[in-house]
Amino acid sequence: MKDKFFQYIQDLQNSITSALENVDGKATFQEDIWKRPEGGGGRTRVIENGNVFEKGGVNISGVHGKLPDSMQKYFGVEDADFFACGLSLVLHPKNPMVPTVHANWRYFEMYDKDGNIVDQWFGGGQDLTPYYLFDEDAKHFHQTCKTACDKHNPEFYPKYKARCDEYFYNTHRNEGRGLGGLFFDYCKATNGMTMEDWYNFETEVGNSFLEAYVPIVEKRKELPYTDEQRKWQEIRRGRYVEFNLVHDKGTLFGLKTNGRIESILMSLPPHVQWVYDHHPEAGSEEERLINILQNPIDWV
């Protein structure tokens, strides 16, 4: 399974970066192949200063070795080895009318001292973070997620949509990071689902990403915007940074397993603002966004 899924994310990285270069029309992804001293490595691809994308990364990794003590305590195991692989992407567009997007698809195995698999699971999802809210974009993104889920189980979309709203939430701000999408984790061979079934579901969602995001980018990338709207985008990006550094489990896992810092922190945008006690103008589009982020709604 690990070989099969690692091959899948290599192919997916190629198709996503190729499509995004076409959308941008100027910038291309810079590739960085790296090795992890403890075992494994990855292929980082970063795009910067494009026509559309100010900064973005589409990274894959496959790492293995002894599970660090801090993570052994977290999982309640002793003397365990692990293998983890996944694709993680974040795209920060230049135009504030185009939403930021994040996605991740991953697979994990844990082994006993004899090398036997004692646990394995899939996880992942994709979520949208707009700065200016176009309802039709939110509906399109969520409908694409729902369509992918419904091919496997009609209960998946409402379940994983709710988990996404719950997970990508800045509790210290009492607001969502964005409009959500899907979030699932610890998907194991239980309740009638085999690991092969989970693989099929995971890849279905991965394959839906470009359909979910690219039409939104194409529709919004040429829209005009003001300096004030750009400032709002940078303030909202600050909230994005806060979530990734304070709450995100993937970031914390990477830092605790001696992960590659450049790859872990590639999700951070290049231009961000923290304005003291900032409040959007009453009745504005900015205030409308905040109100929706504080009270998640069903888009489909």
Catalytically active residues are 102
Q: Are 13 and 45 in contact (CB under 8 A)?
A: yes
Q: How far is it, in rounded angstroms, from Cα 247 to Cα 252?
A: 8
The CA distance from 185 to 173, in Å, is 24
Distance CA 233, CA 118 (A): 45
Angle of helix 135-150 relative to helix 156-167, nearest 10 degrees, comes to: 130
H helix or E strand, kind and range, residue 163: helix 156-167
CA dist list (Å): 290 to 100, 229, 296: 16, 15, 10
- Nearest Cα to 88, choosing from 42, 53, 145? 42
Among 20, 195, 235, smallest CA distance to 109 is for 195
